[in-house]
Amino acid sequence: MSLGPLLRDMAGDPGIVEELVAAARACSAEVARLPEEENRRHIAVLLMAGLAAFERLTDPSADDFAEATRLGADRAAQGVPLSALLSAVQAGRTRAFEIAVVRGRAAGIRDEVLLTAALEFDRYAGALERHVIAGYRTAELELRRDGHDERAALLRRLLAGEPADSADLARFRLHPAGRYHCLVASCAIDQRGGLFGSVDGRPSGLTPRRPADAEVGPRTLVVVSPAVPLAEAAAAYALCLDALPTAVRDGRRGVHDVTGLAAGTALAMQPRLAAMLSDTLLGGLRQDDEFHRELACTALAYLDHGQRLDQAASALHVHPNTVRYRLRRLQEVTGLPPVEGVLDTVRVWWALRTWLDGA
């Protein structure tokens, strides 16, 4: 294999992106507080931009570093210190180089070719870091000009349950007697009205109007609370934070009410009980058996669709008789009794979901 195909394989390998994300998050606590999807998005684009620059065999242009500049600007808006950002960037850069060398040698690429590529990589990575810094500094100045620091500080106080001066509220068009939706998002959103910023590295906000799906990006997830008085904002925001991992795990996008995520969030807060329940009800299933996984997936779909054979079959793209057969086999393998009543349904659903998450 030559160097070009090797780099293309790396840029297109989701596993590489995950390794670089893990390296960046491991060395920077501030970056680790951001949603993983936010890190993943930037790293994937940076890899592709770097590949394009290498393949042209010319000096990189400003366009090649546009995503690096955006990365710096985004992290400034999210309140991530520049030193923490650069630590994460350098950790990802080091890990990418290590993987390239290991794969290159395994592919039989000569060391002199790898050395030449390493020098070029170092030149490109240095320029990338300069653009990250430039994007950060430019955004930092703009944020200071529009009062972003004061806005972010007020938002953090309100969402931490600390009192705020009425003059500060008025400055940012908040009313002490008003009711506001609290929200937390997977990445920054552009919303008119209200107060938005970064709290502990997460895009967050208070808004008098619930945002609509059309107002956020197609890949953005927003968890939003009902409108509450400012005195209750901290408690509502904490519930949104609790619900966010559940929504991420379910692969949700768009705007979701925290109340709609209530069941999954509450169950996720009891992982030990979930594991105990799964072992008790589904102890006959084996994690290494694909057929057993198929049985559990079918039963979960059956419960998710109101125990309707036709709807579960449609969702699984199988015949209703297939669903019926798999449910019977699950009973035979596990000894699971028929599901009766709402609480029993929740108990079995929770056990199935826990087992599948661990499979």
Token pair recorded at residue 218: 């197609």
Q: What percent of the chain has pLDDT over 90?
A: 33
Which pLDDT band, with edges at 50, 70 and 90, does 1 fall under? Answer: low
Place of tokens 């699950």: 330
> Rounded distance, CA 156 to CA 28, Å?
21
What's the pLDDT at 119? 78
Angle at 225 between CA 221 and CA 229, to 5 degrees: 145
Segments in the chain forming alpha helices (H): 3-11, 14-26, 29-32, 36-56, 66-77, 82-106, 111-145, 148-159, 166-171, 233-249, 262-268, 271-282, 290-304, 309-316, 320-334, 342-358
Spatial distance between the Cα atoms of 84 and 75, rounded to a whole number of angstroms: 10
Q: pLDDT, tens digit, for every residue of 236-246?
A: 999 999 999 88
Per-chain mean pLDDT for the chain? 84
Q: Where residue 63 falls among pLDDT bands split at 50, 70, 90?
A: low
Cα(47)–Cα(99) distance, rounded to whole angstroms? 13
**Tens-place pLDDT, residues 176-226:** 889 999 999 987 776 667 888 888 778 899 999 898 888 887 778 999 999
Q: How far is Cα 237 from Cα 230, in angstroms, rounded to an integer?
A: 11
Report the C-alpha gap between 43 and 24 in whole angstroms.
10
pLDDT at 112 over 90: no
Say which residues have a Cβ less than 8 Å from residue 45's Cβ, sequence separation at least 6.
67
Residues 135/62, Cβ–Cβ less than 8 Å: no
| pLDDT above 70: percentage of residues in the chain | 91
- Residue whose C-alpha is closest to residue 225's, from 246, 248, 204: 204
Token pair of 77 as six digits: 């808006």
Mean pLDDT over residues 64-79, rounded? 80
Higher pLDDT, 109 or 281: 281
Model confidence pLDDT, tens digit, residues 134-175: 988 888 777 666 556 677 888 989 999 998 888 888 888 888
State the DSSP code for 234: H
Q: What is the pLDDT of residue 3?
A: 64
What does the pLDDT read at residue 190?
Answer: 63
pLDDT of 295-305, one tens digit each?
999 999 999 99
Which one-letter amino acid corresponds to residue 246?
Answer: T
Host H or E run for residue 205: strand 202-207
Instruction: Evaluate if residue 348 carries a pLDDT over 90.
Output: yes
Q: What is the average per-residue pLDDT within 255-261?
A: 94
Residue 286 has pLDDT above 70, yes or no: yes
